[in-house]
Structure 1
Amino acid sequence: MNDHADQPGKRLQGRRIVVTGAAGGIGRSTARLFAQEGASVALLDRDKENLQVVAEELAGWAFPVDLTDDEAVTGAVGEAAAALSGIDGVVNAAGIMFQGLASEVSSKDWRRVIDINLTGTYNVVSASIPWLVQEPSATVVTIASAAGLLPNAPGLTAYAASKGGVVALSKALAAELAPKVRVNTVCPGMVDTAMADGFRANVGNYALNRLADPIEIARTILFLTSHESSYVTGAALAADGGRSFH
């Protein structure tokens, strides 16, 4: 076990983490927190300009890529592994929010949501497996959603299906990759990012009656990536301010 693991600011010392969706939102907050905790970070996002800004800030590596392009993802992950000299952690924070009633959503829009939120997650993990399984304590953490646990909001059918798929995928991977790789999901409610635009007033069924700050979700991801959660795998951890028990 890492000698620095229990020291503040050292919980990820020596870890080599790939973070997707790192150009903004939860991904950006997570990359910053992980760098502060001693990790080396490789950052993936399709937003090349903002991704480079984050990479420079954190002394990390930027790999612009469309996560729905499996060949491009394989190449980017390989480059990330070369830059980091291996991969022992993945955080899948990339995703999109989509609203529309099932009677109105086109099959094209449905596929786009599934491709980005679910297939994109699969592409990254699949490409990372050859490096992850070489490490004794590797981790994968994927951002799902409280909507994937309790899909009770009209107009979020495609989004809820994609995030429910992420939860199931992660549980299946947890079984498949054990005992070397721990795989978990974090299921936020609304978070104070651009994705919450248009929904910010909808916190009436949240016990904490507010949106989350991105750093609060990043800290949950940190827990599931660090040795502190060493006996946790296959979990879907609700970090939703009390939404999903309503």
Structure 2
Amino acid sequence: MSNDFVLGNGVAVVTGGASGIGRAACLRFASMGHPVVIADLAGAALDQAVRDVAAVSQLGPDAVSGIATDVASRDAMQALASAARGRFGRIAMLMANAGVQPGSDLLGPVADWSRVLDVNLHGVINTVQAFLPGMIAEGGPARVVVTGSKQGITTPPGDPAYNVAKAGVKAFAEAVQHDLRNRAGCEITAHLLIPGFVFTGLTARGRIDKPDAAWTPEQTVDFMMDRLEAGDFYILCPDNDVPRALDELRIRWAAGDIVENRPPLSRWHPDHAAAFAAFLRAGGQ
């Protein structure tokens, strides 16, 4: 793998970089020889992540910076962009990865909805809008990776605020890539990371041991890097339980609710359960 092809020449900035997929990405970027800015909420997790990433940095500990920030604040993200660029210069990789998942009900507390939308949707928008103008002005190749979710595509019942936020993230990432590819001479590309079941603090829910079905954050980053090199926009990750072929069928069925004028979320509708099962058995035929 060509490091420059994947990252370009410059610093990698990762929001939500103190844990999970973000931390694994920071470790990878530092081990590839790039300066890294780890952005996350202040606390022990951020402090430990800085130590861990510095330990593997090819450029030494001075090439790793931990910056406490809240992606829900536009001012904080503007300050992060200025600090990252002021210390390390050109931004080669922006990974808008920070996210929360406290759970939500359709008519549940407004605080749950506000926090999920503020971090998972507005946080992504704030991050990209703070960094991208400067990246365009700097020129040269660079990457913008936005962490989405399969829940933003198939929108399963159970956590509507998270689904709404991640559906918005998908639409926003698509708009970013459309804009970039239509800018004359622009070498920046955008990508939507769509993880499978990954064992992180967000998904552990009290478990200590990784479930057999789950990937590790490191496996997810390995897959992401391979697909970045291949040029994928939609980085649709499998896991140990769900292969890509099954994801594709579920996504096609979800889109079919509109085309076939079925009830929304018909995959979970009792009147359509048998048809969905038959669709899977037939491989979508």
Q: Same fold (TM over 0.5)?
A: yes
Q: Which has the higher contact order (CA 8 A, sep 6+)?
A: 1
Instruction: Please say if residues 146 and 240 of structure 1, whose CA atoms lie closer than 8 Å, have aligned partners that are also in contact.
Output: no
Matched with 1:45 is 40
State the shift of 1:78 in Å.
0.7
1:135–1:48 distance in 2 versus 1, CA, 3 Å? farther
Q: How many residues align?
A: 227
Give the alignment partner of residue 155 of structure 1, picking from 155, 158, 183. Answer: 158
TM-score w.r.t. the length of structure 2 is: 0.72
- In 2, Cα distance between the equivalents of 1:151 and 1:127? 29
- In 1, Cα distance between the equivalents of 2:116 and 2:88? 30
> What do the CA deviations read for 1:110-147 (whole angstroms, capped 9, x no partner)?
12111100111111111111331123211101111111
Matches within 5 A, 1:90-169: 90-103=94-107, 105-133=108-136, 134-152=138-156, 154-169=157-172
1:11–1:115 distance in 2 versus 1, CA, 3 Å? closer
- In 2, Cα distance between the equivalents of 1:155 and 1:125? 29
State the shift of 1:199 in Å.
9.0
State the shift of 1:89 in Å.
1.3
Matched with 2:216 is 213
> What do the CA deviations read for 1:26-66 (whole angstroms, capped 9, x no partner)?
11111001111222111100133322322233220111001
Matched with 1:6 is 2
Q: Which has the larger radius of gyration?
A: 2
Report the AA paired with residue 18 of structure 2.
A
Instruction: Please say if residues 7 and 143 of structure 2, whose CA atoms lie closer than 8 Å, have aligned partners that are also in contact.
Output: no
State the shift of 1:13 in Å.
7.2
Structure 2 residue matching 1:102: 3-state secondary structure: coil
TM-score w.r.t. the length of structure 1 is: 0.83
Instruction: Please say if residues 10 and 89 of structure 2, whose CA atoms lie closer than 8 Å, have aligned partners that are also in contact.
Output: no
Instruction: Please say if residues 148 and 167 of structure 1, whose CA atoms lie closer than 8 Å, have aligned partners that are also in contact.
Output: yes
Unaligned runs of 5+ in 2: 55-60, 251-285
User: Which shows bigger deviation, 159-168 or 212-221?
Assistant: 212-221
- In 1, Cα distance between the equivalents of 2:14 and 2:155? 26
Instruction: Please say if residues 188 and 239 of structure 1, whose CA atoms lie closer than 8 Å, have aligned partners that are also in contact.
Output: yes
Matched with 1:191 is 198
Structure in which a larger fraction of residues adopt helix: 2
Report the AA paired with residue 141 of structure 1.
V
- In 2, Cα distance between the equivalents of 1:224 and 1:47? 32
Matched with 2:189 is 182
- In 2, Cα distance between the equivalents of 1:168 and 1:10? 26
State the shift of 1:18 in Å.
0.4
Unaligned runs of 5+ in 1: 201-208
1:24–1:118 distance in 2 versus 1, CA, 3 Å? same
1:218–1:47 distance in 2 versus 1, CA, 3 Å? farther
Instruction: Please say if residues 13 and 39 of structure 1, whose CA atoms lie closer than 8 Å, have aligned partners that are also in contact.
Output: no
Name segments (4+ residues, structure 1) moved above 4 Å. Answer: 9-13
